[in-house]
Amino acid sequence: MSRWEPGARERLVVAAVELFSEKGYDDTTVSEIAERAGLTKSTFFRYFPDKRELLVAGQETLGTLFAEGIAGAPPGATPLEAVGAGLEAVAGAMGPINRELWPRMKAAIAASAELQERDALKSVGLAASMTSALVARGVPEPTAHLAAELGLLAFKRGYAEWTEGDSDNGLAHYMSVALNELRAATATLG
């Protein structure tokens, strides 16, 4: 088994998703994940403290991308326009592997209470990253929190459409459409 081949983290994630799909989350061991990835168990633990953390591989990166996109929005941007800039930044980092793996990961999450809990915590963390970035722009906290939650919902809806669709449209398109639909929906709340 190779320990220092490039892409070890990504290979571990792909191997885990494959095994979760085949055997279920609870019946998959860290040793099996490492073996499927062509790595050692100790290499697995260099990247992840446990198999549950595979679900949030990249969460820190996503949070940073959201925050950087929001911070880089034009000075006069509304909170939702700034969130849109964050969504664009995230979309730019997603590639074919994300699109390919998501349906299987979604099924694994649906079948495991532990993964559902971890997925919920991931959502909270991403919303917190966006909220902090908006507050740093001078957006009042309640408005920042609401805009971040709408951004998170647009992210989830756009990502689902992108991974389940067969269109050539990119992820940024789907997230933009979702954000615009949510923006319109908020106008009907009264």
Give the CATH number for residue 166: 1.10.357.10
Decide if pLDDT at 17 tops 70. yes
Q: What is the pTM of this model?
A: 0.82
Whether residues 39 and 104 fall in one domain: no
Number of H helices, E strands in the chain: 9, 0
Residue 123 CB partners (closer than 8 Å, separation 6+) = 152, 156
Give residue 118's pLDDT.
85
Query: Rounded to whole angstroms, what are the CA distances from 174 to 3, 8, 32, 100, 131?
Result: 38, 30, 35, 16, 22
Please tell me whether residues 39 and 65 are part of one structural domain.
Answer: no
**97 or 160: whose pLDDT is higher?**
160
Alpha carbon of residue 121 to chain centroid: 11
Answer with the one of 17, 32, 54 that is the final residue of a domain: 54
Residue ranges making up the domain that contains 13: 8-54
Asked if 99 and 170 sit in the same domain, the reply is: yes
Average pLDDT over residues 2-7: 57
Stretch 38-66: mean pLDDT: 86
Q: Are 63 and 87 in contact (CB under 8 A)?
A: no
63 part of a folded domain: yes
Q: Is residue 93 part of a domain?
A: yes
**CB within 8 A of 60, min separation 6: which ones?**
none
